[in-house]
């Protein structure tokens, strides 16, 4: 990960930590760095206020202490939500939602392979039945990931019926995890939410839904989050997947998105390759962020 961290703050903070003592300029530099990394004004103010109080309490003037406090502060904030995926049910059904273009299909392929490598059996359901190209792309990725796939029998088939068949196959064949891809056409927001509700209802007649993962493109920052608002309100999202972090300079968005939604980040995509998906570990993330 270390060679692909455009979102690292270490460059912006270098000057600040190179100083001999903490002074007013230090706080200004820190504020600028946090704002430019897209932490947002609220988190920035709150982090700085807490660090000022801590520096005062321990009467330190050493920038190295401040750096350690910054790491601890950010890690503690990120760890407030549990990033663990709950995949213990049999089958564990994972619904993947998000706006087109954010990296949903790629993420499902990577996720299927990630699970396959951990010895889990996976079936993927192509319930985005209007995008024929997406179904083919998903099939390619699923194959690469060693997963089976349930495709629509014809273009535009009821997405809920594909979801149903996917879960049915998982139950009948003892496949451990069923990942369902869904549509992300924002032009028809209310239709899309109805479609998702129907998919949920159909699955819930068969088994519980283990996770609803909302995929967000980290390069779109706060804008992308606004676009995904409808999913957060209506889709029962249990976890976030941040994609394209390898192309994002906005490391602070990671914390902002968690604090704003109250939903934990569970997976992170950092590249276009099939191996470029990892679980989210606040400690590792903060080490890379602050340096």
Query: Least separation, in Å, of the C-beta of 220 and ligand GDP?
Result: 11
Among 101, 191, 275, 279, binds ligand GDP (CB under 6 A): 101
Among 83, 251, 264, 269, binds ligand GDP (CB under 6 A): 269
What are the binding residues for GTP? 98-105, 181-185, 243-246
Among 38-46, 67-75, 158-166, 264-272, the segment contacting ligand GDP (CB under 6 A): 264-272
Query: Is residue 2 helix, strand or coil?
Result: coil
What are the binding residues? 98-105, 181-185, 243-246
DSSP string for residues in 117-186: HTT--EEEEE--TT-HHHHHHHHHHHHHTT-EEE--SSTT--HHHHHHHHHHHHHHHT-SEEEEE----G
Report the residue number, 73 or 182, with the smaller CB distance to ligand GDP.
182
For residues 238 and 96, the answer to whether their CB atoms sit within 8 Å is no
For residues 220 and 256, the answer to whether their CB atoms sit within 8 Å is no
Q: Residue with structure tokens 């330190």?
A: 60
Site for ligand GDP in 158-187 (CB under 6 A): 184
Report the residue number, 122 or 134, with the smaller CB distance to ligand GDP.
134
Dihedrals phi, psi of 215, to nearest 5 degrees? -90, 130
**What b-and-e string marks burial along 261-272, b requiring 16 or more CB atoms within 10 Å of the CB?**
bebbbbbbbbbe
What count of other Cβ atoms lies within 10 Å of the Cβ of residue 237?
Answer: 19
Among 62-70, 76-84, 155-163, 266-274, the segment contacting ligand GDP (CB under 6 A): 266-274
100 is an interface residue for ligand GDP by CB under 6 A? yes
Report the residue number, 61 or 155, with the smaller CB distance to ligand GDP.
155
271 is an interface residue for ligand GDP by CB under 6 A? yes
Binding residues for ligand GDP, per CB under 6 A? 100-106, 134, 184, 243-244, 246-247, 269-272, 276
């Amino acid at each position: 990960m270390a060679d692909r961290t455009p979102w690292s703050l270490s460059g912006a903070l270098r000057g600040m930590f190179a100083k001999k003592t903490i002074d007013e300029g230090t706080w200004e530099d820190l504020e600028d760095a946090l704002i430019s990394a897209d932490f947002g004004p609220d988190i920035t103010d709150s982090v700085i206020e807490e660090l000022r109080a801590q520096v005062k309490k321990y009467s330190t003037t050493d920038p190295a202490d401040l750096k350690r406090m910054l790491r601890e502060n950010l890690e503690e904030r990120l760890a407030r939500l549990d990033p663990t995926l709950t995949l213990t049910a049999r089958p564990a059904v994972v619904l993947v939602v998000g706006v087109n273009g954010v990296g949903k299909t790629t993420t499902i392929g990577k996720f299927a392979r990630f699970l396959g490598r951990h010895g889990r059996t996976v079936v993927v359901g192509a319930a985005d039945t209007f995008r024929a190209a997406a179904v083919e792309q998903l099939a390619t990725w699923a194959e690469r990931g060693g997963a089976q796939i349930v495709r629509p029998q014809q273009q535009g088939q009821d997405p809920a019926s594909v979801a149903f068949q996917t879960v049915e196959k998982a139950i009948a064949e003892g496949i451990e995890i069923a990942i369902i891809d869904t549509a992300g056409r924002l032009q028809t927001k209310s239709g899309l939410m109805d479609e998702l509700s129907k998919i949920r209802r159909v699955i819930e007649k068969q088994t519980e839904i283990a996770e609803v993962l909302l995929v967000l493109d980290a390069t779109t920052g706060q804008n992308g989050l606004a676009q995904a608002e409808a999913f957060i309100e209506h889709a029962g999202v249990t976890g976030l997947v941040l994609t394209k972090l390898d192309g994002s300079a906005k490391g602070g968005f990671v914390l902002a998105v968690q604090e704003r939604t109250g939903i934990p980040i569970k997976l992170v995509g950092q590249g276009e390759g099939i191996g470029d998906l990892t679980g989210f570990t606040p400690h590792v993330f903060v080490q890379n962020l602050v340096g």
